[in-house]
Structure 1
Amino acid sequence: MRPIEPAAEFGRLREHGPIPRVQWSMGPGLSSTAWLVTRYADVREVLGSPHVSNRFYRGGLVVDQPGFLLSLDPPEHNRIRRMLTREFSVKRVNALRPRVEQIVHGFLDDMIATGPPADLMQALALPVPSLVICELLGVPYDDREEFQRRSGLLLDPRATREEAMANTREMNDYMSDLVTRQRNSPGEDILGALVREHGAEVSDAELVGIGNILLIAGHETTANTIGLGTLLLIQHPEQLALVRDDPSVLRTAVEEVLRYLSIVHTGSPRRVTEDITVAGQPIPAGDMVVVSLPSANRDGNFLTDADSFDVTRPVGAHLAFGHGIHQCLGQQLARMELAVVLPAMLTKLPNLRLAARQSDLAFRTDGPVNGVNALPIAWG
């Protein structure tokens, strides 16, 4: 399937089907049967349930480590998240906006100086969130290719267990060195702030896990939303013109791009800790459950005409960032980056268009995050 459009089978499941059991990958070399939840109300129920846990063994991979928020349950999850909440507050994110604008315009100016065609992924979509998260974490930007390679391997379902384990060791070694430097001389970045303000209550292992998840989540999802969001706007030129020319639609446009794409397929698989019933289906303790975020956000019971793309409509409580205690910590940062990138790109690159046939684009559809490998564009 193309990542912009969920498979038609999801629509049939929402309308007519029971909650099915499917075979699901839990990591390299690991799989299990799981209940697949596709309806908006049911997905919210599962994600908000105290009887559904993100904590289960995944073979000693990076997601198993202390501090890796997506794999923690309360009270550990609440303690770590509370330390980080201020760093991603609306106030703190707004204070970052001038720097993000500077970064975005710098990359756009480089694209213009080089001239078309360009690969949007390499020229803008990946560098912008990568540089932002590097500065937030105190990671040297020159190291970006290595951490992008490692995060790409982490999200690659074709990776072998041996490759995944080696990758985990590399990620932990890199982040451990950074944590040691921060312990010795805390900087003004997120890890430095955690050491200064919570140093006695957070372990080095937890700081490694925190750094890993922020580095991975801080660029993969936003970069692919920029890439696929640009393609989506090119496919809908009247919507592109609105985003370019009417600042009043920017807020709803960002939410609609997020909702319509829902580039994270399912979020983390979850284990049921006590018997639950979802949409009349009993799910016993010990079973695994996964949710389809793209399907939930296309549910007609959530949003009228949900399969259409309309940047002017208020979307409401979409689930692109999940729901419940594991709702994306960095969602305000992602929103702000999109709100800066989209109008700046559309204004500075007039007559933006694909520089390749759409049928030749190579999409990423087999991992947890949808994307496009390259997006050749032209302008002018």
Structure 2
Amino acid sequence: MTLFSDEYQADPHPALAELRHAGPVHRVVSAADVSFWLVTRWAEARQILADPSLSKRQPLGGLPQELQAVLSKQLLLQDPPDHTRLRRLVSGAFTPRRIADLRPRIEQITDRLLDGLTGALEVDLIDALAFPLPFEVICELLGIPVEERRSFRGWSNTIILGDLGSTDLAEAVRELSAYLRGLFARKRARPTDDLLGALLAVDGDRLDMDELISMSVLLLVAGHETTVNLIGNAVYLLDRWPEQKRRLLDDPGLVPAAIEEVLRMAGPAAMSTYRVTTQPITVGDTTIPAGEQVLVSLLSVNRDGDRFTDPDTFEPLRADSGHLSFGHGIHFCLGAPLARLEGQIAIGRLLARYPDIRLARPWQELRWRPGLLMHGLATLPVRMQP
């Protein structure tokens, strides 16, 4: 099997198991003909994700100006002290306590979306629930007016799936940046009680305009794309493991543990973001020279048999937890508490309302989204029986 082919996207685990067996790190080439080092084992991945000698800064020469302006200030592509400063300014909005306060609103949105499925025999659950739930939540959190949200799905899909050199990606970033500049101007004129309003109102160490746009793009895109995949992947796994689905129906208190197991077995991110070696580093028996790009295969390391017992078995109550789906170290995902809460509410209420929900197509026929970094279904046709 060729890495990153359509066949690989549909079921990457056999190829990743071969790589993992062969060693902890490998030189590979992406579908876009970009070569990098891929880490495939859990212990080495944890080491790499926390190693300060690997930099998140990337060379941006040759990219359209719009992309350079956004990426050069992107939180995910910063090292300390810039990373520390930017993360501090936004992290207060994502504390576990503040996220817990969102529970009633997330439940309300979920119930409304499920109400819209009443009477339906078959639906695409990505369009009906997995996308609109986290999208509405992040738009409300940021303070995006309801009547102005229509364009965001197109922009988000292009930014997530687009090639860095494509005109479509540059145009999506240009349009989104122009919209955000106008939104910031309105919020400065009339302050709002939301996350973007709070960032604009920070005293002292403020974000400049490029930093504001970069942070907003990150929050808008990462704030819902990963949860779309988490919800879809959860329904997919529960259909393939019906005995576990029955356990959740008998004991809804197991839903949080089941979401953690979904994150381990079929996490929403296939890969970590890029890191660059600033000096030679040794991974296993391999020395990676300075100036090389390194990624972690999250799908692989979360099924490492040296870390997890029966790693290909879906077991919500497993004793050996510790997946790396949200990363590790200073770049651990800010939105992890929100993604977990949305996943728990969506799956818990979906099963309570539609306990007999099942895939409407054989799982082998489902279409997975292309791209290197994300791992999620393009569509999820299900049969609904209240």
TM-score band, normalised by shorter chain: over 0.9
Structure 2 CA distance for aligned equivalents of residues 82 and 280 of structure 1:
37
Structure 2 CA distance for aligned equivalents of residues 83 and 132 of structure 1:
20
Structure 2 CA distance for aligned equivalents of residues 110 and 31 of structure 1:
44
| Structure 1: runs of 5 or more not aligned | none
Identity value in percent: 39
Moved more, 78-87 or 58-67: 58-67
By how many angstroms is 1:271 displaced? 0.9
Q: 2:89 matched to 1:77? A: no
Report 1:251-330 matches (<5 A): 251-330=256-335
Report 1:1-380 matches (<5 A): 1=7, 5-17=11-23, 19-24=25-30, 32-58=34-60, 59-60=63-64, 61=67, 64-112=70-118, 114-157=119-162, 161-198=166-203, 200-380=205-385
Whether the aligned pair in 2 keeps the contact of 1:4 and 1:228 (CA below 8 Å) is no
Cα displacement string for residues 132-182 of structure 1 (whole angstroms, at most 9, x for unaligned residues): 000001112344341111111112256752222222211211222222222
Question: Match of 2:39, as an amino acid?
Answer: V
Structure 2 CA distance for aligned equivalents of residues 152 and 121 of structure 1:
13
Seen in structure 2, the aligned counterparts of structure 1 residues 128 and 31 have a Cα distance that, compared at 3 Å, is same
Seen in structure 2, the aligned counterparts of structure 1 residues 22 and 205 have a Cα distance that, compared at 3 Å, is same
TM-score by length of 1: 0.92
Structure 1 CA distance for aligned equivalents of residues 44 and 187 of structure 2:
43
By how many angstroms is 1:63 displaced? 8.3
Whether the aligned pair in 1 keeps the contact of 2:163 and 2:169 (CA below 8 Å) is no
Question: Match of 1:78, as an amino acid?
Answer: T
Question: Match of 2:246, as an amino acid?
Answer: A
SS of aligned partner of 2:201: helix
| Structure 2: runs of 5 or more not aligned | 1-6
Q: CA RMSD in A?
A: 2.1
Whether the aligned pair in 1 keeps the contact of 2:265 and 2:303 (CA below 8 Å) is yes
Moved more, 3-12 or 183-192: 3-12
By how many angstroms is 1:88 displaced? 0.4
By how many angstroms is 1:70 displaced? 0.9
Q: How many residues align?
A: 375
Whether the aligned pair in 1 keeps the contact of 2:259 and 2:344 (CA below 8 Å) is yes
Cα displacement string for residues 232-268 of structure 1 (whole angstroms, at most 9, x for unaligned residues): 1111111112223313312211100111112211121
SS of aligned partner of 1:320: coil
By how many angstroms is 1:17 displaced? 3.1
Seen in structure 2, the aligned counterparts of structure 1 residues 243 and 133 have a Cα distance that, compared at 3 Å, is same
